[in-house]
Amino acid sequence: METKSGRTRMRVLQVFLVFVCLLSISFSQMKDHKVTLRQDKFLTEEQGKQELMNFAKSYSTKAQWEKRADNIRKHILVGAELYPMPKKTALKPIITSKRTHDGYTVENVAFESMPGFFVTGNLYRPTKEHKSYAVILCPHGHFFPDSVSGGGRFRKDMQIRCATFAKMGALVFAYDMVGWGESTQFENFQFPQSHDSLRKEVKYQLWNSIRAVDFMLTLKGADPKRIGVTGASGGGTQTFLLAAVDNRVSVSVPVVMVASHFFGGCICESGMPIHQSTKHLTNNADIAALFAPKPMLLVSDGDDWTKNNPEVEYPYIRNVYKLYGAEDVVKNSHFPKEGHDYGKTKRAPVYPFMAKHLKLDLTLIQDASGKIDESFVTFEQTNDMKVFTEKNPRPAYAIRAIEDLK
């Protein structure tokens, strides 16, 4: 016969077991969401797919999505040490050496994203005058020198798309990653090894992109309601990160980068805890979805981590757009037999997408049959594209030590 004391002991044991179970679940969740770096192929393809499915279960309305999106957006900035946003200081732009080509001009540019820290690049403008101009940022990826010129912003494919966007009527800025091109102001900081040695590179690279928008909006005629960004590989990472955290961006075209299982192979993409902390969990496809409901084109291929875009990442992102009734403005151009680049065939769908959503003139780059014609582009030599030269050196007050960056 069960005694009263026996029933009490049994009840205490049951409560204890429930507590242990709950504690175990709590510890498991803490472990799953601890502050960590999600880098390279952090997940398998199947794990990335499953993670998106799990994310999708956490919301079913626009309000639920936006609450989650705001939290992710905030903690991307927290992880990048950009929350609260740093004070914006004087840009002090340097614009030199204007060259005029067929339908566009090129100038060499530098400005300070923070005192003494220079962003270097090239500014492309249309020769045809417009009442106002769309703005397009073109961050480059981890692409090394080609047969024509240097790597990064100097490459042939970068020059082609920047010049073409400009001829269509946009103000276009191609700028260096930290440690690439002319972004080598630190002592004992040599490309490419040093690009991987600045542990807070996500912070500085994303801040440079935000300040690049600031710079472009200082230009005469720049339209703050027509701002696009597009880049491939590491430049694709910059594209969807900037689009996620800077609400001024109105069109986003990340190329050969958005994936649920791959987080970037460079510390400039994932070297800080922007994907996971005790308060958030996300991946790059989820970050790209933060741009909804504004126009976005995903460009993917069959020979890298974007090979599953048509079946995995794009449907997930499109379902987020459906919450806004805006699935018609998100697209995926997939090239199953191509590889990791921003080549001619991949540029082909980008031009009309940008033209439609940034109100550019596509006819200015079409031949008589309506095909895209990039043959007008003049390829420039690397030395001609540099803003800092022997005659125009970097200012003496430029920060020389990495440790002096705030």
Tens digits of residue pLDDT in 151-162? 999 999 999 999
Q: Output the pLDDT for position 25.
A: 31
DSSP 8-state assignment for residue 187: T
203: Cα separation from own chain's centroid: 12
Q: What is the C-alpha to C-alpha distance for residues 356 and 115, in angstroms, rounded to an integer?
A: 38
User: Residue 164's closest CA among 406, 332, 364, 392?
Assistant: 364
The pTM for the full model equals 0.90
Q: What is the C-alpha to C-alpha distance for residues 374 and 367, in angstroms, rounded to an integer?
A: 9
58: Cα separation from own chain's centroid: 25
Give the residue ranges of the chain where pLDDT is below 70. 1-33, 187-198
Q: What is the C-alpha to C-alpha distance for residues 11 and 382, in angstroms, rounded to an integer?
A: 78
Q: Output the pLDDT for position 8.
A: 45
Q: What is the C-alpha to C-alpha distance for residues 166 and 127, in angstroms, rounded to an integer?
A: 8
The crossing angle, in degrees rounded to 10, of helices 156-167 and 344-358 is: 30
Do the Cβ atoms of 374 and 164 come closer than 8 Å? yes
Q: What is the C-alpha to C-alpha distance for residues 240 and 46, in angstroms, rounded to an integer?
A: 22
Q: Output the pLDDT for position 17.
A: 33
